[in-house]
Structure 1
Amino acid sequence: MPIAYNTLFLLEAEDFSLVEIKALDVQSDDPAQLYFWFRFDKASHHLDKLEFVSMTENGAEQQREFRQGRLAFNRSSGTYTAADATAPVELQVQPTDSTSAELDEAIQRYFVAG
């Protein structure tokens, strides 16, 4: 059975997407059970769950820290710097209703396998 979720943030680079979702079928007060950040490789269709560390908001800019890297974004663009990278990758913020079929399939597979 497919998981019901809302896409909260969707950011696109040439090679990958970053997406935050909120699971709708989960009854929990634990944010770690409700909110998920993923990195989706567009070529391989591989989905990696990002391990959330912290978040901050400074005016229009938001920042997220993950074990795998750091994300900073505003309403139109952002950057993601992987933990093992020397330079950030530029991202474009996309409408939350523009999740590709391939990304949705990968999210569904993640929850079925989990």
Structure 2
Amino acid sequence: MPIAYKPLFLLEAEDFSLLEIKALDVQSDDPAQLYFWFQFDKASHHLEKLEFVSMSENGTEQQREFRQGQLAFNHRSGTYTAQAATSPRAELQVKPTDSVPAELDEAIQRYFVAG
């Protein structure tokens, strides 16, 4: 049975997407059980759950820190800097969340079925 979720943020780079979702079928007061950030590799269709550390907001810019890297974004664009020293900073475009690409949705569904 497919998981019901609401996409909250979708950011696209050339090679990958970052997506935050809220699980709708989960009955919990624990944010870690409701909210998930994923990085989706467009070439391999590999989905990685990002390990959330903290968040902040400075005017119109939001920041998220994960064990895997840092994300900063506003309503139009953003940047993601991976923890790996060899990874360059990626420029991101904020996309509408009303339609998640099919291959990304399929990867999310596989993640929750396997989990």
TM-score above 0.5: yes
Output one character per residue of 1:22-77: Cα deviation in whole Å (capped at 9) or x when no partner: 00000000000000000000000000000000000000000000000000000000
**Which runs of 4 or more aligned residues in structure 1 lie more than 4 Å from their structure 2 counterparts after TM superposition?**
none
Indicate the SS of the match to 2:28. coil
Gaps of 5+ in 2: none
- RMSD of equivalent CA atoms: 0.8
- Structure 1: gaps (5+ residues): none
Q: Which amino acid aligns with 2:104?
A: L
Match of 1:62 in 2: 62
Question: Which residue type is aligned with residue 42 of structure 1?
Answer: K
- Matched residue, 2:90: 89
Counterpart in the other structure of 2:71: 71
Question: What is the match of residue 37 of structure 1?
Answer: 37
Confirm or deny that 1:110 pairs with 2:111: yes
Q: Find the residue that maps to 1:45 and give its secondary structure.
A: coil
How many Å separate the matches in 1 of 2:93 and 2:14? 10
- Percent identity of the aligned residues? 83
1:88 and 1:80 map into 2 onto residues whose CA distance is 6
Partners of 1:54 and 1:89 lie apart in 2 by: 20
- Give the secondary structure class of the aligned counterpart of 1:112: helix
CA distance in structure 2 between the aligned counterparts of 1:87 and 1:26, rounded to whole angstroms = 36
Mapped pair 1:98 → 2:99: yes
Length-normalised TM-score, structure 2:
0.97
